[in-house]
Amino acid sequence: MKIPLADLKKQYLTIKPEIDAAIQNVIENTQFILGKAVSDFEQEFAKAHHVKHCIAVGSGTDALHAALWALDIGAGDAVVTTPFTFIATVEAISLTGAQPLFVDIEPKTYTMDPVKLEELLKSPQGKNVKAILPIHLYGQPAAMDEIQKIASKYNVKIIEDAAQSHLAMYDGKYVGNFGEAACFSFYPGKNLGAYGEAGGIITNDDEFAKKLRQLRDHGQSEKYKHQFWGHNYRMDGIQGAVLGVKLKYLAQWTARRREIAAKYKQAFSGISDLILPYESPKAVHVYHQFVLRTKKRAAFQQYLTDKEIGNALHYPIPIHFQEAYKHLGYKPGDFPISEACANENISIPAHPEMTGEMVDYVIESVMKFFS
């Protein structure tokens, strides 16, 4: 049985009439950039996360870059994140001219280790830090209560990288309620994905939202009046229309992801060669990826591929080992948990379009490999 890691075609077919009509509407209204479809989506997405504002932008990378820029972060400043992420998190810091600084992840949640964060902030290296950029990796929020306490103690801002964690919660609150802002990716394969590039920033701060709206549109306060210079971070109308339709299904799709994850966890709980995804008791994990950790990864990956079970490595090379970030001067052993996870983590299919039969097939296959 062939089981892809995500099935966007199947998802489209379940909502085709609504999607087709929404796209057609944008074309007929010729509101190709921003426009009503985008502003309607912004309102609904903000509401879904219990925040006041959403600013729709061109990608998750745009969202991160714009949010850091709007905090006036630039040359001479530093921003702390983790090296176990997609490179965009770190690029956004570099694009502002600031220096990325890394701390390791926790071995259970794969998110920023607050103990390591505080060690860095109180060291001489921490003196230029203006912001913390925790990543809610795979759909699980970082330890935001502890990170918030540290941020206020050292007087630094928080921007959440929520690219993988639409509707995820921590301490009973949705992501996006823990810092200045949270940044989302609507890359097609994300839990809420557009039909092209798209991203969004959510915030409760009125002034920050106003600044971001201007920054997204070349710093314009009104047409051809530029109070400051910004960039073109605008979202396309068609993406807003698609996202508006798909947002209505997000809670139900997320529940299905969680249901599949629970089945997998129950089935795999006795396998000593596997570390299963841990869900912090304070978190609602949205399982953007269902990630297993095993020292037998190479053989397991080959086995899954032979069985036509989709799989992927998120992420095989931590950022401090990337050629692009050699200049930061980190060395092997600096972030041992990130380095181990890069060697041992593997994602398997857990998307909402999977049938019960598909879930059972994955379970049987994984059990067989480890027996």
Interface with ligand PLP in residues 88-127 (CB under 6 A): 88-89
Selected from 60, 126, 193, 244, the binder of ligand PLP by CB under 6 A is 60
Residue with smaller CB distance to ligand PLP, 138 or 321:
138
CA angle 106, 337, 191 (to 5 degrees): 60
Neighbours of 283 (CB within 10 A): 23
Q: Which stretch binds ligand PLP (CB under 6 A): 159-167, 218-226, 277-285, 294-302?
A: 159-167
| Least distance CB 145 / ligand PLP (angstroms) | 21
Q: Which stretch binds ligand PLP (CB under 6 A): 117-125, 142-150, 160-168, 354-362?
A: 160-168
Q: Which stretch binds ligand PLP (CB under 6 A): 9-17, 80-88, 299-307, 362-370?
A: 80-88
Contact mark string toward ligand PLP, 187..226, x via CB under 6 A: x-----------x---------------------------
Amino acid type, 314: H
Residue with smaller CB distance to ligand PLP, 341 or 359:
341
Neighbours of 23 (CB within 10 A): 18
Strand partners, 100: 79
Q: Which stretch binds ligand PLP (CB under 6 A): 145-153, 158-166, 244-252, 305-313?
A: 158-166
The encoded tokens of residue 37 equal 């479809």
| Least distance CB 279 / ligand PLP (angstroms) | 18
Q: Decide if residue 81 touches ligand PLP (CB under 6 A).
A: no
Largest CA distance in the chain: 67
Selected from 135, 168, 243, 291, the binder of ligand PLP by CB under 6 A is 135
Report the candidate in 344, 370, 350, 352 with the shortest Cα–Cα distance to residue 362. Answer: 350
Q: Decide if residue 185 touches ligand PLP (CB under 6 A).
A: yes
Size, binding site for ligand PLP by CB under 6 A: 14
DSSP line for 256-315: HHHHHHHHHHHHHTT-TT-BPPP--TTEE---SSEEEE-TTHHHHHHHHHHTTB--B-S-
Q: Decide if residue 86 touches ligand PLP (CB under 6 A).
A: yes
Contact mark string toward ligand PLP, 20..59, x via CB under 6 A: ---------------------------------------x
Cα(36)–Cα(166) distance, integer angstroms: 22
Write the burial class of residue 338 (CB in 10 Å: 0-12 exposed, 13-18 middle, 19+ buried). Answer: buried
Residue of closest CB approach to ligand PLP: 60
Cis peptide before 315 (omega within 30 of 0): yes
Contact criterion met (CB below 8 Å) for 57 and 200: yes
Contact mark string toward ligand PLP, 244..263, x via CB under 6 A: --------------------
Using DSSP, how many helices (H) and how many strands (E) does the chain show?
A: 12, 14
Contact residues for ligand PLP (CB under 6 A)? 59-61, 85-86, 88-89, 135, 161, 163-164, 185, 187, 199
